[in-house]
Amino acid sequence: MTRPAPGRLSGNRGFTLLELMVVMVIIGVIIGFAALSIGDGGRSERIETEARRLAALMQLTGDEAILNGSQLGLLLTPEGYRFLTLGQEEWEPVEGDQLLRARKLPDGVAMELRVDGMPVGVEEDPKKPEPHLVFLSSGDRTPFEMELGPADSFGELDEEGTRHHLEAGPFGPITLTGPGIRPADFEDE
């Protein structure tokens, strides 16, 4: 068996434990930064955006009902929500109004509506749609509480995660609260 000459290293040299640990720490730091930059995939921003949009649309619906002397309503659907107007005999979808068109909730977002403290159920495809919330030409509206937040695997409002809360009495502004939103934010818009 031959020995390498003094001062020369053999070709079978591996990594030391210290070198392996340094590489593992570097990989861990990179993965940590990647996880922080991804966050929740933008779901919190989608929830806040949808809560602001819905609050603004409901405020607009109340204003339009007063200005046009019409009765308008909001119907929750399994996919989102749509606005209705009271026709001659029954409620009909609002037609020809880009702002009050039917809307689908973004993926991963769910909502829960309560009227008189009771949760409101959503029907798949009602034959004669009746609104869950009504906005009258007199300025009255159905008092309500609504929460928007992350959806669980069944599409229901998840118990965990960021939630935004909309609330309104029979008159006055619709208040919107949630992370990063001051109660006065919506009233100024």
CATH number at residue 144: 3.55.40.10
Rounded-to-integer distance, Cα 121 and Cα 30, Å: 45
Do 41 and 34 form a contact (C-beta atoms < 8 A)? no
Q: Is residue 93 part of a domain?
A: yes
Q: Which amino acid is at 185?
A: D
Q: Kindly tell me if the per-residue pLDDT of 186 is higher than 70.
A: no
Q: Is residue 11 part of a domain?
A: no
Q: Is residue 4 part of a domain?
A: no
Q: Give the global pTM.
A: 0.73
pLDDT of residue 158: 73
Domain of 171 in residue numbering reads as: 44-187
Closest CA to 160 of 81, 44, 55: 44
Q: Is residue 131 part of a domain?
A: yes
Per the model's pLDDT, the better-predicted residue between 180 and 122 turns out to be 122
**Residue 116: phi, psi to the nearest 5?**
55, 35
Do 106 and 79 form a contact (C-beta atoms < 8 A)? no
pLDDT interval class at 26 (50, 70, 90): confident
Quick: pLDDT tens for 34-86.
Answer: 666 565 667 788 888 999 999 999 999 999 999 999 999 999 998 999 999 99
Other C-beta atoms lying within 10 Å of the C-beta of residue 134: 18
Q: Kindly tell me if the per-residue pLDDT of 189 is higher than 50.
A: no
Closest CA to 165 of 148, 185, 182: 148
Q: Kindly tell me if the per-residue pLDDT of 185 is higher than 60.
A: no
Q: Is residue 130 part of a domain?
A: yes
pLDDT of residue 167: 94
Q: Kindly tell me if the per-residue pLDDT of 91 is higher than 50.
A: yes
47 exposed, middle or buried (CB, 10 Å; 0-12, 13-18, 19+)? Answer: buried
Q: What is the total count of domains within the chain?
A: 1
Q: Is residue 155 part of a domain?
A: yes
Closest CA to 51 of 184, 174, 171, 143: 174
Q: Kindly tell me if the per-residue pLDDT of 187 is higher than 70.
A: no
Q: Is residue 22 part of a domain?
A: no
Q: Is residue 80 part of a domain?
A: yes
Query: How big is the CA angle at 167 (ends 80 and 149), to the nearest 5 degrees?
Result: 45
pLDDT interval class at 188 (50, 70, 90): very low
pLDDT of residue 63: 94
Mean pLDDT of 142-147: 95
pLDDT interval class at 127 (50, 70, 90): confident
